[in-house]
Amino acid sequence: MKTSTKAALLSALVYPGIGQLICHAYRRATLFILSFSVTAYLYIEEVIRQYQPLINKVKSGDVALNSQALIAEMARNPIIVDPILVSTLTYMLLTCWVLAIVDAYSMGIKKDAGTSF
């Protein structure tokens, strides 16, 4: 398999930045891995923060852990996430992911051709 294809697939299917690692571009790999990881952490942290009251009610036994009880509780107390923050984080994740794929592919093409980057 060509390096370009392998690098793009690894960045697309495994984790953004892994394709740069196989092309030996360690700074770029670190940049993509860190930016994607930090953004994913912030996204997950926001969702957990919004759902924490419901989680606490389930843990304390106030709400049963079944779909009907959870739906009823969410109807009484809707969970509202900040749409601007979630949209921004989503776009950041997707942008990082796509850039990592394109960058890994282009680096793989250069490596296949024998040129340095």
Tens of pLDDT, residues 61-94? 999 999 999 999 999 988 888 899 999 999 999 9
- Per-domain residue ranges for the chain? 3-50+80-113
What string of DSSP letters covers 2-34? Answer: -HHHHHHHIIIII-TTHHHHHTT-HHHHHHHHH
Angle between helix axes 83-113 and 26-60 (nearest 10 degrees) is 150
Tens of pLDDT, residues 18-55? 999 999 999 999 999 999 999 999 999 999 999 999 99
Q: Taking the model in full, what pTM does it have?
A: 0.80
